[in-house]
Amino acid sequence: MSGPTTATAAADRFEALAFRIVPLVAFAALAIASLATGPAWSAAAAPWPWLVSLVIVGLPHGAADLAVTRRLCGRTAAVVGPCSGYVALMLLAGGAFALAPVPALLAFVALSGWHFGAAHADAQTPSPARRPGTLALAAVARGAPVLGIPLVAHPEAAAAVGAAVAGLAGAAPAFAPDVVRGAGVAVVSLGAAALAAEAWRTRGDPGGPRRTRATLVDLAAIGLLEATTDPLFSVGCYFLGWHAWRQMRLLAPALGCGPITGPRSLVAALVRIHAAALPLLVPTWAALAAAWWWLPFVEPARGPRGLAILSLVVYVVVTPSHDLLMDWWRGSDPRRGRAVAPSGSRRTSLAG
């Protein structure tokens, strides 16, 4: 029994290294660099995490949704059920943004915080999202700081990003920095209260206190990055290097790759996931390219920042469908129709 046990332990260590330790160390290094040299470089580099995300890990992790659904449900059932609903919700979100960009953008920010936090909790072991009544606490505790800290630390820059995104739909909002900072303080306070409530409720659970400590470490590294760098840059790094990257681990078994146990299986999973995403990625890239070329941007025309801002509109449109699919996936077993963790049978120790 020592052989399989040793192999499992090695695989768990690799997953913890690849999907938790390396991203957190990278975030801390970027924050230290910003503290040492100032935040100007991060403002100049702000578009690039989003541009990388269009091709690698970020957008592909969502574009694989339909392939995952087809594999779990079967082609006919997926088209009739989840896929048609997915597309309908995308059209609804796109229409809402076109008609009422500011409310749609605010709703997107709130939904993103929920989605980020729930995904963070899903990847922890034991996941607090699996305990009855704790999903909301877990999602708010982990997602609220991610979106609140940039508002507190960089309200002017955060307001400029929001105005630029809404401007693509013809709106001209003036987000007052003081209001933005106040909203950020409220959101961060809500996250802190949720984490404290979760810690109290799960204090007697196996692994509960350890998971709370690990969450604090995660949020400290992420928060330090967001407090010291441009908000478009820091949230882009979080999306690319934490949220989407960690969901690759959950997508791999659903696409038939098996668990990620080492560098070779990681590369194989990334190739499979990106290939599965191509049917949605290619038309999305084409639409982005056309819009980037033709739209009269308030940002520098056809520059990297303009494309990064435009890519945020894609996420405004697709995030409601993606999040709803993740909620369905979280609560259903494609084999028996019963609750099951989405990562498959082998739970890992990403919580630290």
pLDDT 10s digits, 142-158: 999 999 999 999 999 99
> Confidence class of residue 121 from pLDDT cuts 50, 70 and 90?
very high
> Confidence class of residue 289 from pLDDT cuts 50, 70 and 90?
confident
Task: Show the DSSP H helices in 17-100 as ranges.
Answer: 22-37, 40-45, 47-55, 58-63, 65-73, 75-78, 84-99
Overall average pLDDT of the 40-69 stretch: 92
Question: Does pLDDT of 107 surpass 70?
Answer: yes
Question: Does pLDDT of 203 surpass 80?
Answer: yes
pLDDT of residue 112: 95
Question: Does pLDDT of 97 surpass 50?
Answer: yes
User: Which among 50, 238, 80 is positioned nearest to 145, based on CA atoms?
Assistant: 238
Q: Distance between CA atoms of 338 and 332, rounded to whole angstroms? A: 5
pLDDT of residue 313: 94
pLDDT of residue 128: 81
> Confidence class of residue 284 from pLDDT cuts 50, 70 and 90?
very high
Q: Kindly provide the b/e burial profile for residues 294-310, where b requires at least 16 CB atoms within 10 angstroms of the residue's own CB.
A: eeebbbeeeebbbbbbb
DSSP string spanning 96-162? HHHH-HHHHHHHHHHHHHHHHHHHHHHTSSS-GGGSTT-HHHHHHHHHHHHHHHHHHH-HHHHHHHH
pLDDT of residue 80: 53
> Confidence class of residue 30 from pLDDT cuts 50, 70 and 90?
very high
Domain ranges of the chain: 10-35+42-330
CB of 124 closer than 8 Å to CB of 342: no
Reduced to 3 states (helix: H, G, I; strand: E, B; else coil), residue 343 is coil
Overall average pLDDT of the 242-247 stretch: 95
Q: Give, in order, the Cα–Cα distances in Å from 200 to each of 66, 68, 147, 216.
A: 38, 36, 24, 14
Q: Distance between CA atoms of 287 and 165, rounded to whole angstroms? A: 17
Question: Does pLDDT of 338 surpass 70?
Answer: no
Query: pTM of the full predicted structure?
Result: 0.89
pLDDT of residue 331: 63
pLDDT of residue 341: 39
Question: Does pLDDT of 298 surpass 50?
Answer: no
Q: Distance between CA atoms of 225 and 212, rounded to whole angstroms? A: 20
Percent of the chain predicted with pLDDT > 70: 86
Span of 100-109, 274-283, 289-298 with lowest mean pLDDT: 289-298
pLDDT of residue 9: 85
